[in-house]
Amino acid sequence: AQSVTQPDIHITVSEGASLELRCNYSYGATPYLFWYVQSPGQGLQLLLKYFSGDTLVQGIKGFEAEFKRSQSSFNLRKPSVHWSDAAEYFCAVDTSGTYKYIFGTGTRLKVLA
Amino acid sequence: EAEVAQSPRYKITEKSQAVAFWCDPISGHATLYWYRQILGQGPELLVQFQDESVVDDSQLPKDRFSAERLKGVDSTLKIQPAELGDSAMYLCASSTDGLESGNTIYFGEGSWLTVV
């Protein structure tokens, strides 16, 4: 069965430091890939998505993600974290192109002042 | 920017009572979803509508949960009777099949349910 793994449940970084959140999926072909952010008590906001083409995609709020087919990964990065980035981040895949999203369990980001 | 509207944002109900959530998707979005997100987990799909028809309700606990989208626009998710394990955030989302959509699902702010 298809699955999405976010190996880091919690990550703490200092403000201004770089960030990388990991996401791995199990699926034979290249799925549609997404990163969402969820602030406490709020819904999910789309940060970026990948379908095909350039494997480095840019998103909102200064985030980017790189698709690596050989590693079945779609890691999210930001060069300099701001305190307002503290939130929970979810990776999701759509393996069939039918909007059947499979979500990872999320990574909670804490930012130290 | 158009948003998915949900209400109520927060609901506390007693065990065995009925509770309902309402959702208004982004205008023009034919597909509507209800997800359940238990604290500390990712969202899981409960039901998916295409216009007024259910296309996937395989994960909906049909003995107590029901969902409808009578006119193919807004939708209601009902739980009766509520159980303690139903405490979660209920997220509504919508999508369109247009080429520009890129298989993207847009989520509402969610409705927090606490069953006591």
- Find out whether A90 and A8 touch, Cβ atoms under 8 Å: no
pLDDT in tens, A16-74: 999 999 999 988 777 889 999 999 888 899 999 998 888 999 999 999 999 999 999 99
**Residue in chain A lying closest to B113 (CA):** A41
Interface contact A8, partner B, CB < 8 A: no
pLDDT in tens, B23-44: 999 999 999 999 999 988 899 9
Chain A residues with CB-CB distance to B43 below 8 A: 44, 90, 101, 103
Neighbours of B82 (CB within 10 A): 23
Q: Which of B29, B113, B26 is nearest to B65 (CA)?
A: B113
Per-residue pLDDT, B98: 63
Whether B4 and A101 lie within 8 Å, measured CB to CB: no
| Non-local CB neighbours of B79 within 8 Å, separated by 6+ positions | B18, B19, B20, B64, B65, B86, B113
Amino acid (1-letter code) at residue B112 = W
Whether B45 and A43 lie within 8 Å, measured CB to CB: no
Cβ under 8 Å to A: B residues 38-97:
40-45, 48, 56, 91, 95
Whether B4 and A43 lie within 8 Å, measured CB to CB: yes
| Non-local CB neighbours of B113 within 8 Å, separated by 6+ positions | B11, B12, B13, B19, B21, B79, B82, B86, B87, B88, B89, B90
B42, B48, B102 ranked by CB distance to A103: nearest = B42
| Non-local CB neighbours of B71 within 8 Å, separated by 6+ positions | B52
Interface contact A99, partner B, CB < 8 A: yes
Chain A residues with CB-CB distance to B4 below 8 A: 43
Assign 3-class secondary structure to B3-66.
CCEEECCEEEECCCCCEEEEEECCCCCCEEEEEEECCCCCCEEEEEEECCEEEECCCCCCCCEE
Q: CA-CA distance, A113 to B3, in Å (whole number)? A: 32
pLDDT in tens, B57-101: 999 999 999 999 989 899 999 999 999 999 999 999 999 876 556
Average of per-residue pLDDT values in chain A: 92
Closest approach of B43 to chain A, Cα-based (Å): 6
Interface contact B31, partner A, CB < 8 A: yes
Per-residue pLDDT, B1: 64
Over its C-alpha atoms, chain B yields an Rg (Å, rounded) of: 14
Q: CA-CA distance, B56 to B75, in Å (whole number)? A: 15
Interface contact B3, partner A, CB < 8 A: no
Whether B41 and A51 lie within 8 Å, measured CB to CB: no
Interface contact A49, partner B, CB < 8 A: yes
